[in-house]
Structure 1
Amino acid sequence: MGHLQQRNLNTTRERLRDQVAHHLRAALISGELRPGEVYSAPGLAEDFSISATPVREAMLDLAREGLVEPVRNKGFRVTEVNERDLDQYTEIRTLIEVPMIGRITRTASRADLEALRPVAEEIVRAAREHDLVGYLEADRRFHLSLLALSGNERLVETVGDLRKRSRLYGLTGLDERDQLIPSAEEHIELLDLMVAGDAEAAEKCMARHLGHVRSLWADGAERRPPLPRGPRPVRTGPETAAGRG
């Protein structure tokens, strides 16, 4: 198809799937792959100059993350999230995570909390280096690892699912205006409060952080520039090749 930016991929079999998934996540963040559009694995494989199999496998990984959904005999549709969805996801996360942060502050060891400092610093570093995929991955690891200190695996799974469904809107535009850096630095502030044992302040910081993230979504959506030209989506008319995707 020739519309995705050229990628240099290591052709080692065991790494190819992960590399493709990484580049597809980047394309989702940048808007090269557009919400609501359907893309076929063979079509995307042309952009990577590889076979369709690792692309299909990578797309299945993204489907498990809630970023795309399979469309029978056509490919994968990029999932869409509206403002109402984002409000509801944020409300649920606030109800779960704010009191849980207070509980973890009171029960977790200082050593377990300090073990997360390198991840918090990685979030800030990724924001400053404009590494959006790295930013999202480090942010996910920090929050889920922090909640894991509660010992409640089902809670971690629930929040993980909510995070997948509410990926950041307008992330590229926010990054260009350096608006991700203050949000990134809140992770270190939160950790400092928890290490100090100040549960009440940690809860307030967590509530503020979730509200800040939600406002960034809204701001990013309002200021988001027109989507760049991306890979051609799959046609839905009779000319669509059977079995694609």
Structure 2
Amino acid sequence: MPHLESRTIAVQSHLRDQVADALRAALIAGELRPGVIYSAPTLAADLGVSATPVREAMLDLAREGLVEAVRNKGFRVTEMTERDLDEFTEIRTLIEVPTVGRVAATASAEQLESLRPLAQQIVTAAQEHDVLKYLESDHRFHLALLALAGNHHLVQVVADLRKRSRLFGLGSLNETGRLAASAREHIELLDLLVAGRGQDAENCMRRHLAHVRTLWADGRAEAERREPALRLGGR
């Protein structure tokens, strides 16, 4: 697995965080498959670290809903159903669409324009097929935009929803360029907000979230058609 190949991890950095990032990358790429049980010692061997930071990182991912502990075996990657996808999208739509309208009415042009570099980073990452950079920039853009509404708890709720849903399936779509259209919607949304077109911005956000939901579903289906990943836990 490319994302789990042995690599040098700096001692001075937090091993737990670096291991968690590597595991998230493997999830994105489809190298860790939903429903499969992976053992901490085997993952640790692939990463070139001890089993302890792997277990700690897996516990972090479990709290995010991405994996679940399996007694005496390891961790199983959580499977998302069509209903899960629908419910995540519904909740985000209920929160983010009206919040975008509120931001359009209250945020200054300077505040909105400060988000443009992030929006452009999303587009650039999609063009360069860098799915990890795409997700990082997308995450920062959406949360920074919502933060302009001034409700910290709202931002945290959306951040949690994104952790539970955004990592599955996009790696396979990255190879086909499917992320580019979704990336450009961030520029469109920002332009509408700067122009003060609140209703159009809400419609754009609603369409964008529906598009993301389709990407999740299509990405997951494509990943399932690909060559099965190495089942570390089943060896």
Of residues 183-192 and 121-130 in structure 1, the stretch that sits farther from structure 2 once superposed is 121-130
Tell me, in whole angstroms, the C-alpha distance in 1 between the residues paired with 2:213 and 2:117.
25
Tell me, in whole angstroms, the C-alpha distance in 1 between the residues paired with 2:3 and 2:132.
16
Match of 2:153 in 1: 154
Displacement after TM superposition at 1:227 (Å)? 4.3
Question: Secondary structure, in 3 states, of the residue corresponding to 1:81?
Answer: coil
Aligned identity (percent) is 63
Question: Secondary structure, in 3 states, of the residue corresponding to 1:77?
Answer: strand
Match of 1:226 in 2: 226
Tell me, in whole angstroms, the C-alpha distance in 2 between the residues paired with 1:43 and 1:96.
40
For 1:29, give the aligned amino acid: I
> Is the contact between residue 127 and residue 180 of structure 2 (CA under 8 Å) also seen in structure 1?
yes
Tell me, in whole angstroms, the C-alpha distance in 2 between the residues paired with 1:152 and 1:186.
24
Displacement after TM superposition at 1:126 (Å)? 1.5
Match of 2:197 in 1: 198
Write 1 or 2 for the structure with the bigger share of helix.
2
Match of 1:113 in 2: 112
Match of 1:65 in 2: 64
Task: Structure 1 unaligned segments of length 5 or more: list them.
Answer: 236-245
Structure 1 residues 46-104: Cα deviation after superposition (integer angstroms, max 9, x where no partner): 11122112222222332233222233443222111101110111111111111110011
For 2:171, give the aligned amino acid: T
Displacement after TM superposition at 1:4 (Å)? 6.6
2:153 is the alignment partner of 1:165 = no
Match of 1:241 in 2: none
Question: Secondary structure, in 3 states, of the residue corresponding to 2:75?
Answer: strand
Match of 1:26 in 2: 25
After TM superposition, list the pairs within 5 Å mapping 1:48-63 onto structure 2: 48-63=47-62
| Cα distance change of structure 1 residues 188 and 195 upon mapping to structure 2, 3 Å threshold | same
Tell me, in whole angstroms, the C-alpha distance in 2 between the residues paired with 1:212 and 1:90.
10
Match of 1:239 in 2: none
Match of 2:207 in 1: 208
Task: Tell me the TM-score normalised to structure 1 length.
Answer: 0.87
Bigger RCO of structures 1 and 2 (CA < 8 A, at least 6 apart): 1
After TM superposition, list the pairs within 5 Å mapping 1:60-99 onto structure 2: 60-99=59-98
Query: In the comparison of the two structures, how many residue pairs are matched?
Result: 234
Match of 2:130 in 1: 131
> Is the contact between residue 4 and residue 22 of structure 2 (CA under 8 Å) also seen in structure 1?
no
> Is the contact between residue 30 and residue 168 of structure 2 (CA under 8 Å) also seen in structure 1?
no
Tell me, in whole angstroms, the C-alpha distance in 2 between the residues paired with 1:75 and 1:91.
32
> Is the contact between residue 4 and residue 231 of structure 1 (CA under 8 Å) also seen in structure 2?
no
Task: Tell me the TM-score normalised to structure 2 length.
Answer: 0.90
> Is the contact between residue 126 and residue 134 of structure 1 (CA under 8 Å) also seen in structure 2?
yes
| Cα distance change of structure 1 residues 3 and 153 upon mapping to structure 2, 3 Å threshold | closer
Task: Structure 2 unaligned segments of length 5 or more: list them.
Answer: none
Match of 1:44 in 2: 43
Displacement after TM superposition at 1:154 (Å)? 1.7
> Is the contact between residue 40 and residue 75 of structure 1 (CA under 8 Å) also seen in structure 2?
yes
Displacement after TM superposition at 1:164 (Å)? 1.8
